[in-house]
Amino acid sequence: MGSFVKFLGAEAKRGTLVANLAGLRQGGMAHDMSWAELLEEKAKKHPDRIMLRYKEECYTYRQMDENANRTANFLLQLGAEQKAGLGIFMRNSPRFLDLYFAAQKLGMYVVPINCELRGDGLQYVINHSDIKFLACDAELAEPVMTVRDQLKSLKSIIVDDVEEEAEDFDIPEGVDLLSKAWHPLASTRDPGIGYADRSDKCMIMYTSGTTGRPKGVVYKVNTSRVKLLSLMAGVLLNKNDVYYTSFSLAHGNAMLLTVTLSMAMGGTIALARRFSASRFWHDIRRFDVTVFNTIGSIIPILMKQPERPDDRVNKVCFVLSAACPTDMWKPFEKRFGVTIYEGYGAVDSGGKGIMNFGTAPVGALGKLSKRLGVTRIIDDKGQDCLPGEPGELIFQVKGDGQGVPYYKNEKATNEKVRDGWMYTGDKVRTDKRGYVYFVGRNTESMRKGGENVSAYEVEHVIMKHPAVEDVAVYAVPSDLAEDEIMAAVKLVNGAPFAPGDLQDFLSDKIAKFAVPRYVRVVEDFPMTNSHRVIKRVLEQEGVTPDAFDALNP
């Protein structure tokens, strides 16, 4: 209740209270704001609070706002203007955020780009998003230069030569250098431009693209959901929290949850350049972290790190998790002395989400409350599923701005929201008490032995093998009408593993028809910026010569 009262007070000061109270009854805000506007507001209110810690760097809210102004003035010198797009192809750093806020101060839209993309995948996002400016790390300049001749709309490529990692890389010719934004004479004055219209785009965030082309989710200023996230922040956090992320800022997990929620409370963001299992808890202790978020694939990786006597030496109050393996939930809490809050949401979920704040059984997401509006779980024929039956989760949507527009993809937009319902593409089930459990993605369901097989559920069982650090399960062509199931595994360093033994390991844990026929050991996976395996790459490679075949061992 206290968080809602604070929200009402903030809205009254902004002059949007009446309109947004009416909008909330329709499930959204009538007047939202950009992330740059949130930064400016917090810089005025809490100028000397620490906003960001990264390696040895530390910045207050005022300094972050000044650095965004500095960067915005630099972009103006390069010809930046309202409604133009800026792509950010960078690993995590303060400079990423400087560019992000700077573009929005100029009324531009930002396109964070998965820094693992290469070749055709990178070219597609750059061209599809119609950006005119692209900022990239020095270490990522080569992939950009490789496709430079195929990039249609770019006016400028900006190379971040500020990071310490840049010292090991040559700077290509014909690019602009981000270090010029930090020239001693560079102005930190607010350019005072902003958006010409509240319906202008402020961000396009592309989906992970694990099974197909990434889709660009459009965030407009008046549908950014910054204020809804701010309201959520008041429930979860306080001003003294230090919120850590090692996920890429190009994904909603880091940008929408960590950055937005922390800023909303005037708290501190602790940022890692990238995820490292060996450095993870060192960072948590070093930055005095009180909150972090994670996904199901990360928890087994952290659990398989060697145990240390100081595993429980941390200040973490709770962990926001998505798809935590049920059997690792309590062991993870016990080993590291933390509490897990399980949640569900997605970049293209239209702001819908479910949370288990310890109010539901281990493994559950929570319940489908009235706060979410009307919800259903349906089968392939559109009929409501009974408790225990897996089906697709759909939400009823109403009011303007409650849909999920994909950039230049009307077909996908219409498939996502149709006849007043938002189709999540996620399979869930309920128990008899109404608690909801995640089952997997619709697009990651396979057909074997006359049964539907969830790749998600098979992967979670394989992750119990002590030698497996990460795994991807996917369908490969079969001589029959159904699928053959293949598993690619990445091993824990030095762990002994015989692919043929996986059949025996799984024999009493999952149905026989769900046991993968093919097993392949890989050194690394093609990954999204949210640490998910890009399965379409593996699917295209198919059954490789090094794969173990259980039918022809």
Give the mean pLDDT per block of 10 residues along the chain (553 residues): 72 82 68 96 97 98 98 97 98 98 98 91 95 98 95 95 95 96 92 96 86 86 91 91 96 92 97 95 98 88 92 96 89 96 76 85 87 84 92 81 79 85 89 89 73 83 91 86 88 87 89 91 84 85 92 82
Which residues, 6+ apart, have CB-to-CB distance to 116 below 8 Å?
Answer: 526, 527, 528, 529, 534
CA distance 410 to 231: 31
Q: Map out the domains of the chain as residue ranges.
A: 1-31, 33-206, 449-549
pLDDT at 399: 61
DSSP character for 484?
Answer: E
Tokens for 489? 């595994």
- What CATH number belongs to 449-549? 3.30.300.30
Reported as type and span, the H/E element at residue 59 is strand 57-60
> Which CA distances in Å does 118 have to 114, 122, 126, 390?
9, 5, 11, 36
Which residues, 6+ apart, have CB-to-CB distance to 382 below 8 Å?
Answer: none
What percent helix, strand, coil does the chain show, rounded to 5?
Answer: 35, 25, 45
E-state strands within 431-510:
435-441, 445-448, 451-454, 468-476, 484-491
* Radius of gyration in angstroms for the set of CA atoms belonging to the chain, rounded to a whole number: 23
- Residue 333 has φ and ψ, to the nearest 5°, of -60, -45
DSSP character for 431?
Answer: -
CA distance 49 to 95: 19
> Which CA distances in Å does 190 have to 73, 76, 95, 102, 247?
8, 12, 17, 10, 30
pLDDT at 26: 61
Tokens for 51? 């906003």
The reply to whether 33-206 and 449-549 are identical in fold is: no
User: Any idea which architecture 33-206 has in CATH?
Assistant: 3-Layer(aba) Sandwich (3.40)
pLDDT at 51: 98
pLDDT at 348: 62
DSSP 174-224: T-EEGGGGG-TT---S------SSTTSEEEEEE---SSS---EEEEEGGG-
